Amino acid sequence: MADHAHPVDPNAVSRARDRIPAPAEAGRVTSVLTLIADPTRMRLLFALDAAEELCVGDLALALDASEDAVGYGLRMLRTAGLVTRRKDGRMVFYRLAQGFPEPLRQHCLLQLAALSNVSHSET
């Protein structure tokens, strides 16, 4: 419990409490953010957003990364439900999961990157 028992602005405290996610929801969100905080996994998401569906080899070429690193990143993203796969004979193609939120891809992630650049330049 906080040491500050009486709020300076009770309305502001109430508004803040109404917007704060429950601990379980906050845990799920931070788990996903932690997962995509890896540069390879982040780049995989953007590559799959741009090309819709790619195999591991093509993703490795696009990212200029090893197939092992790409495969591991895809496995992590698939386990989290962010990426799905489709087999065509011996080939396996990956794509973003159907419910992957487009606003997260198109706006939030790029804005976070831009904000990170601003905060680094201010220090």
Q: Which domains does the chain have, with CATH numbers?
A: 23-97 (1.10.10.10)
Give me the pLDDT at residue 29, please.
Answer: 82
Give me the pLDDT at residue 116, please.
Answer: 72
Which residues, 6+ apart, have CB-to-CB distance to 90 below 8 Å? none
Mean pLDDT computed over 74-89? 94
Per-residue pLDDT band at 104 (split at 50, 70, 90) = low
| Residue among 55, 48, 54 at smallest CA distance from 96 | 48
Give me the pLDDT at residue 108, please.
Answer: 67
pTM: 0.73
Q: What is the spatial order of strands in the sheet that 91-96 belongs to?
A: 54-55, 91-96, 83-88
Mean pLDDT computed over 7-14? 87
Give me the pLDDT at residue 31, please.
Answer: 85
Residues 47-58 pLDDT 10s: 998 898 999 999
